[in-house]
Amino acid sequence: MGNGNWWERKRRLIGRGAPLPRSPGFPRSPVCALGLVLVLRACGGTVPIQTLLDDPPRYDGKTVRIAGEVKGSMGALGYGAYRVSDGTGTLPVVSEGGGAPRDGTRIGVEGTFRSAFTLGTETAAVLVEKRRYIP
Protein backbone atom coordinates (compact mmCIF):
# COMPACT_ATOMS: atom_id res chain seq x y z
CA MET A 1 0.00 0.00 0.00
CA GLY A 2 2.90 2.37 0.79
CA ASN A 3 2.33 5.98 -0.07
CA GLY A 4 -0.86 5.29 -2.00
CA ASN A 5 -3.58 7.78 -2.58
CA TRP A 6 -6.13 8.22 0.26
CA TRP A 7 -9.07 7.55 -2.06
CA GLU A 8 -7.44 4.34 -3.29
CA ARG A 9 -6.99 3.08 0.29
CA LYS A 10 -10.59 3.97 1.11
CA ARG A 11 -11.84 2.09 -1.97
CA ARG A 12 -9.86 -1.01 -0.92
CA LEU A 13 -11.29 -0.89 2.61
CA ILE A 14 -14.84 -0.65 1.27
CA GLY A 15 -14.18 -3.62 -0.99
CA ARG A 16 -13.13 -5.74 2.02
CA GLY A 17 -16.15 -4.69 4.10
CA ALA A 18 -13.94 -3.06 6.70
CA PRO A 19 -15.30 -0.13 8.69
CA LEU A 20 -14.23 3.18 7.24
CA PRO A 21 -11.79 5.29 9.19
CA ARG A 22 -13.35 8.48 10.49
CA SER A 23 -12.03 11.55 8.79
CA PRO A 24 -11.07 14.50 10.95
CA GLY A 25 -13.74 17.15 10.88
CA PHE A 26 -16.00 19.10 13.15
CA PRO A 27 -15.92 17.60 16.67
CA ARG A 28 -19.09 15.65 17.40
CA SER A 29 -19.44 15.84 21.16
CA PRO A 30 -22.50 16.83 23.18
CA VAL A 31 -20.59 19.83 24.53
CA CYS A 32 -19.91 21.09 20.99
CA ALA A 33 -23.55 20.56 20.03
CA LEU A 34 -24.73 22.48 23.10
CA GLY A 35 -22.27 25.28 22.35
CA LEU A 36 -23.51 25.51 18.78
CA VAL A 37 -27.13 25.69 19.94
CA LEU A 38 -26.29 28.46 22.43
CA VAL A 39 -24.40 30.47 19.82
CA LEU A 40 -27.24 30.14 17.32
CA ARG A 41 -29.78 31.05 20.01
CA ALA A 42 -27.77 34.13 21.03
CA CYS A 43 -27.56 35.23 17.39
CA GLY A 44 -31.13 34.07 16.99
CA GLY A 45 -33.20 35.57 14.30
CA THR A 46 -36.08 37.91 14.63
CA VAL A 47 -39.68 37.04 13.95
CA PRO A 48 -41.40 39.24 11.35
CA ILE A 49 -44.14 41.26 13.04
CA GLN A 50 -46.69 40.11 10.45
CA THR A 51 -45.98 36.49 11.45
CA LEU A 52 -46.78 37.35 15.08
CA LEU A 53 -49.99 39.11 14.10
CA ASP A 54 -51.08 36.34 11.69
CA ASP A 55 -50.82 33.59 14.32
CA PRO A 56 -51.08 35.21 17.78
CA PRO A 57 -52.04 32.06 19.76
CA ARG A 58 -48.82 30.36 18.65
CA TYR A 59 -46.64 33.12 20.13
CA ASP A 60 -48.80 34.30 23.06
CA GLY A 61 -46.76 34.31 26.27
CA LYS A 62 -43.55 33.35 24.47
CA THR A 63 -40.28 35.26 24.27
CA VAL A 64 -39.69 36.61 20.76
CA ARG A 65 -37.32 39.03 19.07
CA ILE A 66 -38.33 41.74 16.64
CA ALA A 67 -36.30 44.41 14.88
CA GLY A 68 -37.32 47.55 13.09
CA GLU A 69 -37.72 51.29 13.29
CA VAL A 70 -39.30 53.11 16.21
CA LYS A 71 -42.48 54.93 15.21
CA GLY A 72 -44.14 57.11 17.83
CA SER A 73 -42.72 56.86 21.32
CA MET A 74 -43.46 58.32 24.72
CA GLY A 75 -41.98 57.77 28.12
CA ALA A 76 -41.89 59.11 31.64
CA LEU A 77 -40.21 58.14 34.92
CA GLY A 78 -38.43 55.15 33.37
CA TYR A 79 -41.54 53.68 31.77
CA GLY A 80 -42.17 53.87 28.05
CA ALA A 81 -44.32 52.86 25.15
CA TYR A 82 -43.42 52.87 21.46
CA ARG A 83 -44.26 51.13 18.20
CA VAL A 84 -41.79 49.12 16.12
CA SER A 85 -42.31 48.78 12.38
CA ASP A 86 -40.31 46.20 10.41
CA GLY A 87 -41.87 46.64 6.96
CA THR A 88 -44.27 43.73 7.46
CA GLY A 89 -46.27 45.27 10.28
CA THR A 90 -46.22 47.44 13.38
CA LEU A 91 -46.30 46.25 16.99
CA PRO A 92 -46.63 48.28 20.20
CA VAL A 93 -43.90 47.71 22.79
CA VAL A 94 -44.10 48.60 26.48
CA SER A 95 -41.05 49.11 28.64
CA GLU A 96 -41.11 48.94 32.42
CA GLY A 97 -37.59 50.31 32.71
CA GLY A 98 -35.35 52.37 30.50
CA GLY A 99 -38.01 54.61 28.99
CA ALA A 100 -38.67 54.74 25.27
CA PRO A 101 -36.18 55.17 22.41
CA ARG A 102 -36.42 58.12 20.02
CA ASP A 103 -38.57 58.06 16.91
CA GLY A 104 -36.69 56.79 13.86
CA THR A 105 -34.20 54.71 15.87
CA ARG A 106 -33.37 51.28 14.43
CA ILE A 107 -33.81 48.86 17.31
CA GLY A 108 -34.07 45.20 18.21
CA VAL A 109 -36.33 44.15 21.06
CA GLU A 110 -36.62 40.88 22.92
CA GLY A 111 -39.71 40.45 25.01
CA THR A 112 -42.86 38.54 25.85
CA PHE A 113 -45.54 38.63 23.17
CA ARG A 114 -49.04 39.22 24.55
CA SER A 115 -52.12 38.85 22.38
CA ALA A 116 -55.27 40.53 23.70
CA PHE A 117 -57.77 39.56 20.99
CA THR A 118 -58.35 39.07 17.28
CA LEU A 119 -61.43 40.55 15.66
CA GLY A 120 -61.77 39.76 11.97
CA THR A 121 -58.44 40.72 10.42
CA GLU A 122 -57.33 42.96 13.31
CA THR A 123 -55.19 41.67 16.17
CA ALA A 124 -54.58 43.61 19.36
CA ALA A 125 -51.19 42.60 20.73
CA VAL A 126 -48.20 44.05 22.56
CA LEU A 127 -44.59 43.10 23.26
CA VAL A 128 -43.47 43.51 26.88
CA GLU A 129 -39.82 44.47 26.59
CA LYS A 130 -37.19 42.40 28.38
CA ARG A 131 -34.14 43.88 26.65
CA ARG A 132 -33.10 46.01 23.70
CA TYR A 133 -30.23 45.44 21.32
CA ILE A 134 -28.74 46.94 18.19
CA PRO A 135 -29.73 44.75 15.23
- Domain parsing of the chain, residue ranges: 6-41, 45-133
Homologous superfamily (CATH) of 45-133 is: Nucleic acid-binding proteins (2.40.50.140)
- Mean predicted lDDT score pLDDT of the chain: 80
SS3 labels along the chain: CCCCCHHHHHHHHHHHCCCCCCCCCCCCCHHHHHHHHHHHHHCCCCCCHHHHHHCHHHHCCCEEEEEEEEEEEEEECCEEEEEEECCCCEEEEEECCCCCCCCCCEEEEEEEEEEEEEECCEEEEEEEEEEEECC
Per residue in 3-35, pLDDT (tens digit) is 567 667 766 766 666 555 555 555 555 555 555
Per residue in 83-100, pLDDT (tens digit) is 999 999 999 999 988 788
